[in-house]
Amino acid sequence: MSTRILRPLPVPPDDPAAILPDLAEAIAGNVTWLPVPAGPERADRDRADLLIRSQRCGEPVAPGIAVVVATSGSTGTPKGALLTPANLVAAADSTHSALSGEGHWLLAMPGHHIAGLQVLVRALVAGTEPVCLDVSTGFHVDAFADLATRMSTVSASEGLPAYTALVPMQLAKALDTLTGIEALRRFDAILVGGGHLPRHLRNSCDRLGIRVVATYGSSETTGGCVYDGRPVPGAGLRVSDGRIHLGGPMIAAGYRTAPPDDDSFAEPGWFATRDRGEITDGTLTVTGRLDDIIDSGGLKLDPGIIENAMLDIGGIDSACVVGIPHPRLGQAVVAAYTGSIEPCEVVEGLDDLPRWQLPKDIRHLATMPTTGPGKPDRDAVRRLFAARER
């Protein structure tokens, strides 16, 4: 048997469906790919180079691995989740089981991230042709609406449901226009992941007859495996000492690169996340990250609490809360956000929070630095505040 070598798979942002034959080969067990961005921007080239180096492309990879999908954590070197053909297919099947069965998919995010990659895999499993939005210059509602109209017409003629997957910022942008609202209403379900689904966005969708499903998962779980707080068919969920654990056939075989003491996959078939959460009446609430706690004046603060409160304020599209060095408090709580409102309005919207949790500095950004679809880059935000202090 020849040695399997990990090979890079460039994913063009304007036509991610071009990799469908390559994905089919991986699912058939014939090749192992590392999806990397193939966009023309310097950031895409730098990211691709980082992934190729850190995941050791050109070197042997464990047998039975279909794709290595980089994690999008905000710090450190990407670890690379080892996903098998069974992982990919099980995740696709569980999604279809949780929704209205197999159907047509519109891809509206980068195909080299797990959320985008799984849209393509779901289309392969369903035997349907995905429709792909060119996101090389961002998310444009008119283009999204044109594709949604075209795809929903085909879906209706074939008697199949129509689906898409978005991050909260894309959903918010689409809800801002009548064209976007009409496009969203064409889908039988819209998966929304990559971050907290703000309460006002869900309420708007409910009023407008738009079915949104909040998803929770990661590269290590082959995408979202908890929908609206409950595990999809076949997935396992538990919280131990405040730490969220996910299980099932969609759990990765491990990491391509990870520290020797990493315990993420210590229990076979389970992934111990770095997220904290709680389960009430069978429904999971994610409360924050284990390693993001801010120590301000001796008080421990989970930035996710403030971020979610900010995202629930109308007019805020994205939010990131971090701690920065402070001579008296140890760490000061600061916040960055994007949206249409002013910092003073953000403060007013956080009236229900204890006073000590209020950010000491709030910065309005034109764009939020990210490490993946909908995921703020905490290190980059810290640097922005550090530069402001100098």
Tokens of 384: 């922005």
d(CA 82, CA 62): 9
CB 61 within 8 A of CB 256: yes
- Asked if residue 264 belongs to a domain, the reply is yes
Same domain, 338 and 272: no
Which pLDDT score, from 0 to 100, does residue 281 have? 95
- Asked if residue 46 belongs to a domain, the reply is no
Same domain, 271 and 346: no
Q: What is the DSSP string of 220-245?
A: GGTEEEEETTEEPTT-EEEEETTEEE
Helix (H, G, I), strand (E, B) or coil at 122: helix
Q: What is the pLDDT of residues 295-320, one digit of tens each?
A: 888 888 889 889 999 999 999 989 99
Same domain, 234 and 122: yes
Of 57-71, 133-147, 270-284, 365-379, the one with minimum mean pLDDT is 365-379
Give the Å distances, CA to CA, from 229 to 144, 217, 285: 28, 11, 6
pLDDT over threshold 80, residue 75: no
| Total number of domains in the chain | 2
Q: Measured on CA atoms in the order 150, 151, 154, 155, is the torsion positive or negative? A: negative
Q: Amino acid identity of 220?
A: E
CB 92 within 8 A of CB 121: yes
Tokens of 12: 């063009």
More confident residue, 76 or 266: 266
Query: What mean pLDDT value characterizes the chain?
Result: 93
Which pLDDT score, from 0 to 100, does residue 73 have? 53
Which pLDDT score, from 0 to 100, does residue 77 have? 77
- Asked if residue 33 belongs to a domain, the reply is no
pLDDT over threshold 60, residue 174: yes
Q: Amino acid identity of 142?
A: D
Give the Å distances, CA to CA, from 92 to 27, 121, 225, 234: 12, 7, 10, 11
Same domain, 276 and 316: no
* Segments forming the whole domain that contains residue 135: 84-283
d(CA 195, CA 203): 17
Same domain, 135 and 251: yes
Same domain, 272 and 123: yes
Of 91-100, 123-132, 381-390, the one with minimum mean pLDDT is 381-390
- Asked if residue 255 belongs to a domain, the reply is yes
Same domain, 305 and 205: no
pLDDT over threshold 70, residue 390: no
d(CA 12, CA 39): 6
Tokens of 129: 């042709």
Q: Where are the alpha helices (DSSP H) in the chain?
A: 20-27, 42-54, 85-98, 114-126, 141-158, 168-175, 178-184, 199-208, 303-311, 343-349, 378-389
User: Predicted confidence band at 389 (pLDDT cuts at 50, 70, 90)?
Assistant: low
Domain end call among 256, 283, 310 = 283
d(CA 184, CA 145): 8
pLDDT over threshold 70, residue 74: no
Which pLDDT score, from 0 to 100, does residue 284 have? 97
The 3-state secondary structure of 172-226 reads HHHHCCHHHHHHHCCCCEEEECCCCCCHHHHHHHHHHCCCEEEEEEEHHHCEEEE
Whichever domain contains 108, its CATH number is 3.40.50.12780
- Asked if residue 43 belongs to a domain, the reply is no
User: Predicted confidence band at 293 (pLDDT cuts at 50, 70, 90)?
Assistant: confident
d(CA 24, CA 319): 37
Whichever domain contains 338, its CATH number is 3.30.300.30
Domain end call among 283, 316, 346 = 283
Same domain, 300 and 225: no
Tokens of 254: 């491990």
For residues 160-168, give the mean pLDDT. Answer: 97
Rg (CA), the chain: 21
Domain end call among 253, 283, 313 = 283
Q: Where are the alpha helices (DSSP H) in 28-113?
A: 42-54, 85-98
Task: Give the phi and the psi of residue 152 in degrees, each rounded to 5.
Answer: -65, -30
Same domain, 337 and 230: no
Which pLDDT score, from 0 to 100, does residue 298 have? 82
Q: What percent of the chain has pLDDT over 90?
A: 77
Same domain, 238 and 304: no
- Asked if residue 349 belongs to a domain, the reply is yes
Which pLDDT score, from 0 to 100, does residue 76 have? 59
- Asked if residue 221 belongs to a domain, the reply is yes
Same domain, 202 and 318: no
- Asked if residue 116 belongs to a domain, the reply is yes
Same domain, 275 and 311: no
Q: What is the pLDDT of residues 217-262, one digit of tens each?
A: 999 999 999 999 999 999 999 999 999 999 999 999 999 988 888 9
CB 236 within 8 A of CB 207: no
